[in-house]
Structure 1
C-alpha cells in the first residue's frame, strides 16, 4: 500500500459546511477547495426532501430517475432523492454549472463519480437525519458519518473491525475513551475503503489507524506504516451529535486549480483536435474524387 515519493495531500481541512437547502450560500465550497483541496458538507435530510416527484425532480435526478422509481420504501426513496440533490448542488457549486447539468456515475462497488468530468472527486454518506458529502481536487476522497452516541465498544464488533494493534491500544485507554476511539476508527475505515473504491470488500481487520492519536497513515495489522505520505485523514465533529471520518488521497497530478466545466479542456488539446478535424475535412473531398 506504500506509495513512495509523494507529498502529503490535504494536510488541513476546513470545518464542515452546513447547507440548509438549495438556496444556501455555496461560496465556501470553492473557497475550501482552493485552500485545502477538499470540502466537506453537512445537511439535514428534511431540508433536502423532494416536493413530489414531478418534472423538476426528474430533471434534477437525470440518469438516477429510474433508480429512484425502483425504490419502493418511501423513506429510502426520499433519502435517495435528497442525497443526490445535495451532491449535485455541491458539485455544481464547484464546477460553476447548473445542478441539473451534473450527471452521476457509479463504480462496481457503488462509488459515485461525476460523469464527463474527473477534476472533482466526490463521496457520499448518511446516518440518522444527516447527509454528508465530500469533494476533493487532489485525488480520491471518502467520507463517513456516525452518531456519536452509537455504542461499538463491548458489542462484539471489535473482533470484526480492529487489527491486533488497534485492539491492544484501545484496551490500554481509559474506559470512557474506548467507545469514542472505536467510532473514530470505524468512520476512518469506512472513509478510506470508500475512497479506494472497495467499500466493504476491504476487510477492516486488514488495515488500521492509531486509535489514541490523530491519524496520519494507514497502518498494517501489526501497527507499522502502510501508506506514508499518500493520504491525509481527518476526524471531525458536527453539531455535537455526529462523528465524521474523511480520507483524502493524492493522485500525484497536483491540484486542479480551474474547476469550471466550461474551461475543463486544455487549450492545447482543443487546438490539436481542431487541427485534426480540419485535415480530415480537407482529405474527404479528395477521397470522394478518387
Structure 2
C-alpha cells in the first residue's frame, strides 16, 4: 500500500520548473512533488524534438501512441504530439522512478491523459507554439494550460463568447490596454480547470468564471457568486518570456502520496512481465530513480 503523508502538503506550489533537455532539473521536479505534492514543468519544443522521427527509440517511448502518431499527416502537429508525450513520460518516470519507456498513457472519453496502472499520480499537458507544459500531482486532480501572452483574444471579440456576465463587467472596468492580458489569464484558468475535471471544451466557458487578477483565483458562478471551495487552488504564471501558464489543482483531502515509486506498488513479477511485453531490458529499480535510463532514448 502506498504511504500517505501524516500531514497535508503545503497549500501552495512552486513556479514551473524549466527543463532544458533530457538531463534537465529533474531533481527540482521531484522535490516539488515531495514538498507540495504538485510539480509543474515547461520546456521548449526545440529541446524535445525526436532525433529520428521514425526511430525505434521514439516508437518505444510513444508506446500505444505510436499508431496515432503515424496517422498524423502534418509534420508540425506530429512533432509537437511526439515531443509533448515524450516529455510527459520523462516527467512521469521521475515520479514513478521507472524508465520512461515503461510509462504507458491512456486517455479518457474526453481525451484526458492518465497513467495506465498508476492512478496515484494525476497528470495534465498543454502545448502551444514552442512551449510544452506538464503538470503532476499526488493529492487530487490537476489541469494546466498555456497561451501566448499577446494572443489577441479580446480584439477578436472572443470575450463575448467565453466570459460570464460578471467577467464581462470586470473586463469593461479595466483600461483598454489591460483587457487583452486579463482575458488571456481568464482563458487559461478556464482551460486548466476544464482539463482537471475532465471536461475539456465540453464545459461551456460562459457557465463558470473567475474574478479579477487582484482577487484570489477561484471558480465563480456566472453572477460572480462562489462556485468552489478551498479544495481547489489556482495559480497563473508568466514563463519563457511570453507565455501565460495557469494551473488548477484539487485536494482530495487525503494528503499527497509520499512514496510514488512504482516498485512499491507493483509485484516484481508484474514489473518483469511488463518489461518483457515492452521489449525492454529493464533492470530492477534500486531506488536511485533510474537516472541513467532517463538520459537516453
TM-score range, shorter chain: 0.7 to 0.9
Q: In the TM superposition, what is the alpha-carbon distance from 1:212 to its structure 2 partner?
A: 3.4
Pair 1:207 & 2:205 matched: no
State the partner residue of 1:48.
48
Q: In the TM superposition, what is the alpha-carbon distance from 1:9 to its structure 2 partner?
A: 8.2
Provide the TM-score with structure 2 as the length reference. Answer: 0.84
State the partner residue of 1:76.
77
Q: In the TM superposition, what is the alpha-carbon distance from 1:25 to its structure 2 partner?
A: 2.8
Query: Which residues of structure 2 form unaligned runs of 5+?
Result: 1-6, 268-297
Is 1:149–1:241's contact at 8 Å kept on the other side of the alignment? yes
Residues of 2 paired with 1:169 and 1:205: CA distance? Answer: 14
Structure-to-structure mapping, 1:183-202, within 5 angstroms: 183-202=184-203
Residues of 1 paired with 2:213 and 2:124: CA distance? Answer: 26
C-alpha offsets along residues 122-160 of structure 1, whole Å, 9 cap, x if unaligned?
Answer: 001011100000111111100000011111223210111
Q: In the TM superposition, what is the alpha-carbon distance from 1:105 to its structure 2 partner?
A: 0.3
Query: Which residues of structure 1 form unaligned runs of 5+?
Result: 1-6, 267-290
State the partner residue of 1:92.
93
Cα gap change, 1:8/1:207 in structure 2, threshold over 3 Å: closer, same or farther? farther
State the partner residue of 1:142.
143
Pair 1:59 & 2:64 matched: no
Residues of 2 paired with 1:71 and 1:137: CA distance? Answer: 32
State the partner residue of 1:28.
28
State the partner residue of 1:111.
112
Q: In the TM superposition, what is the alpha-carbon distance from 1:10 to its structure 2 partner?
A: 5.9
| RMSD value, Cα | 1.7
Residues of 1 paired with 2:183 and 2:111: CA distance? Answer: 25
Residues of 2 paired with 1:103 and 1:173: CA distance? Answer: 46
Residues of 2 paired with 1:120 and 1:47: CA distance? Answer: 25
State the partner residue of 1:159.
160
Q: In the TM superposition, what is the alpha-carbon distance from 1:76 to its structure 2 partner?
A: 0.9
Is 2:9–2:35's contact at 8 Å kept on the other side of the alignment? no
Cα gap change, 1:36/1:265 in structure 2, threshold over 3 Å: closer, same or farther? same
Rg (Cα) greater in structure: 1
Pair 1:37 & 2:41 matched: no
Cα gap change, 1:65/1:265 in structure 2, threshold over 3 Å: closer, same or farther? closer
Residues of 1 paired with 2:71 and 2:82: CA distance? Answer: 12
Say how many residue pairs are matched. Answer: 260
Residues of 2 paired with 1:214 and 1:92: CA distance? Answer: 36
Q: In the TM superposition, what is the alpha-carbon distance from 1:167 to its structure 2 partner?
A: 0.4
1:236 match: secondary structure: strand
Q: In the TM superposition, what is the alpha-carbon distance from 1:8 to its structure 2 partner?
A: 9.9
Cα gap change, 1:126/1:167 in structure 2, threshold over 3 Å: closer, same or farther? same
Is 1:10–1:232's contact at 8 Å kept on the other side of the alignment? no
Residues of 2 paired with 1:163 and 1:143: CA distance? Answer: 21
Structure-to-structure mapping, 1:196-235, within 5 angstroms: 196-235=197-236
Structure-to-structure mapping, 1:252-271, within 5 angstroms: 252-264=253-265
Q: In the TM superposition, what is the alpha-carbon distance from 1:44 to its structure 2 partner?
A: 0.7
Q: In the TM superposition, what is the alpha-carbon distance from 1:172 to its structure 2 partner?
A: 0.8
C-alpha offsets along residues 23-76 of structure 1, whole Å, 9 cap, x if unaligned?
Answer: 223111110111122111111111111122111111111111111111111111
Provide the TM-score with structure 1 as the length reference. Answer: 0.86
State the partner residue of 1:101.
102
